[in-house]
Amino acid sequence: MSRLKHFSRAGELDAWLTGLSSTATARQLNRRDRTRLDDDLRLLHSSGMLEGAPGDDRLRPRLTFPDTRGRTADGAPSEHLEFRELERQREMRRHMAEPQEEENVPRSPVPVNPEPGIRSEQDKQVTAALPHHQDWIMSRHRLRATFDSVAACYQEARPDYPAELYSDLLAITGVTPPARLLEVGCGPGKATLPLARMGFPITAIELGAALAAEARHRLAEFADVSVIMSSFEDWEPPTGVRYDLAYAATAWKWLDPEVKYAKAAKLLTPGGHLAVWNADHAMPAGFDPFFTEIQNVYEEIGEAHDGPWPPPPPEDRLDPIPAEFDASGDFMVIGTRLYVWALRYTADEYIALLDTFSGHIAMEPAKSQHLYQEIRRRLAARPDGRLTRHWSVALTIGRRL
């Protein structure tokens, strides 16, 4: 029982479970981790903290999901519906089983000790409370540090976010310069530059030293933009400073679920906003068959797609972030948006893109060499040598409660 004292309140437990069900941490759960998670859920059950019999489908009865399919086109708050138990559990299982990770994150990450000082106090507590989760916390820490090794090529290889995303963000939140913005995980400045150009003062927090240096270089002309090298969890903000909008672009999933919402809320002005979005590979109707054909290569190298192929089209994928906002108790969702677009890539461009995904960066060189050779061979057989990759970005905007 003492192992579980970390979850002293139902809200904390729900937030933790919601965090598990989503984003990179859950996406990186391999089969062994899932078994361990089930063990821990059984343990939580036996402590009376979860309802239902162990192994029962209703082990996570307090979690609710927003009906993202019901999002309105005009930015009205997404409607939050109670799903029937079975339906909800099906969604839950889909999230646990289906990777929505950065391009085939390794299924069996070898845990390594993260750099000293990088783990937050809260992560340490979770680790102490549930030792089985040490592995996936460590794999999250290991993978999130991979981006720094590709700092020089990240900006060019990754696509820009759609201009509508920024206009929707400003329309829904009502923020205008000189409102103060806080960005978490800015990388080389992909989502910092467009907002800096609009005249916003921005404080950007970036874990990687090389990425922070890239961002500083790219943002040098903006006197009101500063880039701080730190993990968000460990960053100590200047006393008394509050922000009108905090945002994270394809970075939120790498943060400690136990810390991120509460810390963001504390840093915001009353009524301030948090916006989170994530760029994913989308498979809408008519997606390029290249991606189905290349799956056997991923299987050969032991990096098979987890879950049914193809994944559902972007409009049918449940974005877990609105539910996380609600479960945090710190934010009310006031708008969600989905953007889908397509880009054409040559083999070189596509491989450069893959080289910026944590799963590919962490891949054994022999495996990535084989994969890249196959990509080149297959694209060389096409008349124009290109593939079409669809992107989706799900944006969630919440107001601080």
Ligand X SMILES: C[S@@+](CC[C@H](N)C(=O)[O-])C[C@H]1O[C@@H](n2cnc3c(N)ncnc32)[C@H](O)[C@@H]1O
Scanning the structure block, which residue is given the tokens 């519906």? Answer: 81
**Least distance in Å: CB of 6 to ligand X?**
20
Residue 393 binds to ligand X (criterion: CB under 6 A): no
Residue 187 binds to ligand X (criterion: CB under 6 A): yes
Nearer to ligand X, 187 or 201 (CB): 187
Give the one residue of 19, 109, 208, 335 binding ligand X; rule: CB under 6 A.
Answer: 208
Residue 275 binds to ligand X (criterion: CB under 6 A): no
Nearer to ligand X, 28 or 89 (CB): 28
Residue 144 binds to ligand X (criterion: CB under 6 A): yes
Residue 255 binds to ligand X (criterion: CB under 6 A): yes
How far is residue 333 from each of residues 267, 269, 337, measured CA to CA in Å? 18, 16, 11
Nearer to ligand X, 7 or 232 (CB): 232
Do 368 and 149 contact (CB within 8 A), yes or no? no
Could you list the beta-strand ranges (E) of 298-351: 331-346
Give the one residue of 191, 245, 327, 393 binding ligand X; rule: CB under 6 A.
Answer: 191
Residue 205 binds to ligand X (criterion: CB under 6 A): yes
Give the Cα separation of 377 and 251 in Å (integer): 33
Residue 263 binds to ligand X (criterion: CB under 6 A): no
Where in 217-236 is the site for ligand X (CB under 6 A)?
Answer: 231-233
**Least distance in Å: CB of 264 to ligand X?**
12
Which residues on neighbouring strands pair with residue 345, listed in sequence order?
Answer: 387
Residue 173 binds to ligand X (criterion: CB under 6 A): no
**How many chain residues interact with ligand X (CB under 6 A)?**
22
**Least distance in Å: CB of 141 to ligand X?**
8
> Taking contact as CB under 6 A, which single stretch among the options 30-38, 59-67, 91-99, 179-187 is the one that binds ligand X?
179-187
Residue 211 binds to ligand X (criterion: CB under 6 A): yes
How far is residue 364 from each of residues 289, 347, 348, measured CA to CA in Å? 26, 20, 19
**Least distance in Å: CB of 26 to ligand X?**
16
Residue 267 binds to ligand X (criterion: CB under 6 A): no
Give the one residue of 6, 36, 133, 158 binding ligand X; rule: CB under 6 A.
Answer: 158
Give the one residue of 89, 203, 250, 328 binding ligand X; rule: CB under 6 A.
Answer: 250
Q: What are phi and psi of 217, to 5 degrees?
A: -60, -45
Residue 254 binds to ligand X (criterion: CB under 6 A): yes
280, with CB counted inside 10 A (0-12, 13-18, 19+), is buried
Handedness of CA 253, 254, 257, 259 (dihedral sign): negative
The residues near 145 (Cβ < 8 Å, ≥ 6 apart) are 114, 115, 118, 207, 208
**Least distance in Å: CB of 49 to ligand X?**
28
Nearer to ligand X, 251 or 395 (CB): 251
Residue 119 binds to ligand X (criterion: CB under 6 A): no
Residue 212 binds to ligand X (criterion: CB under 6 A): no
Q: b/e per residue, 183-221, with b = 16+ CB within 10 A? A: bbbbbbbbbbbbbbeeebbbbbbbbbebbbbbbbebbee
Residue 246 binds to ligand X (criterion: CB under 6 A): no
**Least distance in Å: CB of 38 to ligand X?**
27
**Least distance in Å: CB of 2 to ligand X?**
29
Virtual CA dihedral for 318, 324, 329, 334, nearest 10 degrees?
-50
> Which contacts (CB < 8 Å, 24+ apart) does range 94-99 have?
94/307, 94/318, 95/21, 95/22, 95/26, 95/318, 95/320, 96/21, 96/26, 96/29, 96/34, 96/37, 97/306, 97/307, 98/306, 98/307, 98/308, 98/311, 99/27, 99/28, 99/305, 99/306, 99/307
Binding site for ligand X (CB under 6 A): 144, 147, 158, 184-187, 190-191, 205-208, 211, 231-233, 249-251, 254-255
